[in-house]
Amino acid sequence: MVAGWFTGEGEGFRLLGTRCSACASVFFPREDALCRNPGCPGGDLCEVPLSRRGRVWSYTDGRYRPPSPYVSDPELPWEPYALIAVELAEERLVVLGQAVPGVTVAELAVGMEVEVVAGVLNEDAETTWTTWHWRPTGVRA
């Protein structure tokens, strides 16, 4: 549903952003039309993979089922998931994402190292929608 936000599989999974050729600003989600730096004359925006690892800026969870357009099966009991905002040092930006299933807020701390992995957002009979998840490094779920 969001083309070009990530690529690769397994250890090669990466979030994809874009980098401005004029000012070197990085954007995620990707900016393909215009650089948003007000002091930039405007350059080409080229696809760039983001750092695989970062540190927890903050985290929370969702104890109640979010409304649509989030897709979840109303027939099944709601299973809360954690959400982690992760600071990527090299790109100097913070990216929000769901934690890998099974990781709860009790296992998280601000400053903890996490890495990006491929995950399943939702699936139906025909399609599996992939997304990115943050996983504390050292956890092998």
Partner 1 sequence: MTGEVAVLGAGMHPWGKWGRSFVEYGTAAARAALADAGVDWRDVGSIVGADTVRGGYPGYVAGATFAKALGWQGARVTSVYAACASGAQAIGTARAQILAGLADVVLVVGADSAPKGFFRPAGGDRADDPDWLRFRVLGATNPTYFGLYARRRMAVHGDTPEDFARVKVKNSALGALNPYARYRKRVTAEEVAASAVVADPLRLLDICATSDGGAALVLSSMEFARRHGVAEPVRIRAVSTVTPRYPNPVLDLPDIATDSALAVSPPEETFRASIARAAYEEAGVGPEDLSFAEVYDLSTALELQWYEDLGLCGEGEAAKLLWDGGTALGGRIPVNVSGGLASFGEAVPAQAIAQVCELVWQLRGEATDRQVEGARVGVSANQGLFGHGSAVIAVR
Query: Minimum distance from CB of 82 to Zn ion (Å)?
Result: 34
Interacting residues with Zn ion between 20 and 49 (CB under 5 A): 20, 22-23, 25, 35, 37, 40
SS3 at position 105: helix
Of 76, 122, 118, 79, nearest in space to 100 by CA:
118
Please, which residues have CB within 8 angstroms of residue 37's CB and are 6 or more apart in sequence? 20, 23, 25
Mask: binding to partner 1, 31-70, rule CB under 8 A, as x and -?
-----xxxxx----------------xxxxxxxx-xxxxx
Task: Give the span between the Cα atoms of 66 and 84, in whole angstroms.
Answer: 16
Q: Which is nearer to Zn ion, 35 or 95 (CB)?
A: 35
CB nearer partner 1, residue 26 or residue 114 = 26
Instruction: Indicate left, alpha or beta for 59 from its phi (over 0: left) and psi (-120 to 50: alpha).
Output: beta
DSSP tag of 65? P
Going through the chain in order, the beta strands assigned E by DSSP cover: 6-7, 14-20, 26-27, 45-49, 53-61, 82-88, 93-99, 113-123, 128-136
* Nearer CB in complex with Zn ion: 19/133: 19
Taking the complex as a whole, how short is the minimal distance between the CB of residue 5 and Zn ion, in angstroms? 20
- One residue of 95, 100, 103, 116 binding partner 1 per CB under 8 A: 95
Looking at the Cβ atoms of 87 and 140, the one nearer to partner 1 is 87
Contact residues for partner 1, defined by CB under 8 A: 1-2, 20, 23-29, 36-40, 57-64, 66-72, 81, 83, 85, 91-98, 105, 109-111, 121, 131
